[in-house]
Amino acid sequence: MDWSFLSTQKISQVYYRHFLDRCFFCQIKSPQLICKNCLNGFFFNEQHCQACKLPTSKPINLCGECQKKPPQYNQLLSPLVYQGHTKTLITGLKFSSKYQNTQVLCHLLVQALQDHYQANSKPWPQALIPVPSHINRVRQRGFCHMTLLSRNLLAQLAIDLPLSSKLLVKKLDTAPQHDLNKSQRHKLKPKNFHCPSGVPSHVALFDDVITTGSTIDACITKLKEAGATKVDVWSLARTPAKGDESN
């Protein structure tokens, strides 16, 4: 039994029962999880490359990178820019064990997913596969943040979508992404990952933040080798273009 997850669930239940009908951030009375004022602290990814969702100053069909190398995935959904509240929430979860942050992060992603799939009558994937961390990284942190995010996301979506975290594993303990520069990130190889068994034909690959897309690309290569024919990528946020990271 996953006692760590049960304790995390209990913490979240107590937290939200206590702050019911209050804004997650400022605690003022609010019918929404995030009040209108605090919502201004998020940067929504409204102008971007249509393929990789790289934030841009104006909407474009394909950025330079996507023109040179079209993405392997069928579609990518990333509603937020990795700035402001989004960056604070994600770093707080990963490096300060602020488990309650999963609730508000997934809340914003759920809205984008429902708008995309339900409003457009598109078929949901057959499985949700989080981008894996190496077991050494999980032990060092004390928990797997992507597992926590995935479980919270599925609970809020309330659809019949299995969490299949064992279908993709990370074999090599590489340096953390935030310690790598762009060139080093691009050197990440599919051999770092492994699919122990076959995977469904249509899957969703879930990551917290997408920067260069090299990790996603390596994972998709392995998923397609294992039987996936359609991969949708879901992420909480996309990093801003270089030179636009001041916030």
Q: What is the pLDDT of residues 120-172, one digit of tens each?
A: 889 999 999 999 999 998 998 899 999 999 999 999 999 999 999 999 999 98
Q: At what angle do helices 145-157 and 3-18 cross, to 10 degrees?
A: 60
Phi/psi region, residue 98 (left: phi>0; alpha: psi -120 to 50; beta: rest), is beta
What number of H helices and E strands is found in the chain? 9, 7
What's 126's domain CATH number? 3.40.50
Q: How far is CA 208 from CA 9, 52, 212, in A?
A: 20, 15, 13
Interval 185-189 mean pLDDT: 60
Tell me which range, 33-37, 171-175, 240-244, is most confidently predicted by mean pLDDT: 33-37
Does one domain contain both 52 and 2? no
Does one domain contain both 140 and 61? yes
Does one domain contain both 33 and 134? no
**Spatial distance between the Cα atoms of 107 and 156, rounded to a whole number of angstroms:** 7
**Spatial distance between the Cα atoms of 7 and 190, rounded to a whole number of angstroms:** 34
Does one domain contain both 126 and 91? yes
Look at 46-50, 153-157, 241-245 and tell me which has the smallest mean pLDDT.
241-245
Does one domain contain both 184 and 85? yes
Does one domain contain both 34 and 76? no
Does one domain contain both 49 and 156? yes
In a domain, 5, yes or no: yes
Does one domain contain both 181 and 227? yes
Does one domain contain both 34 and 112? no
Handedness of CA 44, 215, 88, 28 (dihedral sign): positive
In a domain, 65, yes or no: yes
Domain range spanning residue 81? 44-238
**Spatial distance between the Cα atoms of 96 and 25, rounded to a whole number of angstroms:** 17
The number of domains in the chain is 2
pLDDT tens-place string over residues 59-68: 999 999 999 9
Look at 15-19, 36-40, 154-158 and tell me which has the smallest mean pLDDT.
15-19
Q: Is the pLDDT of residue 184 over 80?
A: no
pLDDT tens-place string over residues 83-130: 999 999 999 999 999 999 999 999 999 999 999 998 888 999 999 999
In a domain, 247, yes or no: no
Interval 12-33 mean pLDDT: 75
Q: pLDDT value at position 172?
A: 81
At residue 246 the predicted structure's pLDDT band, cuts being 50, 70 and 90, is: very low
- Give the pair of three-digit tokens for residue 18: 């206590």
Does one domain contain both 120 and 32? no
In a domain, 244, yes or no: no
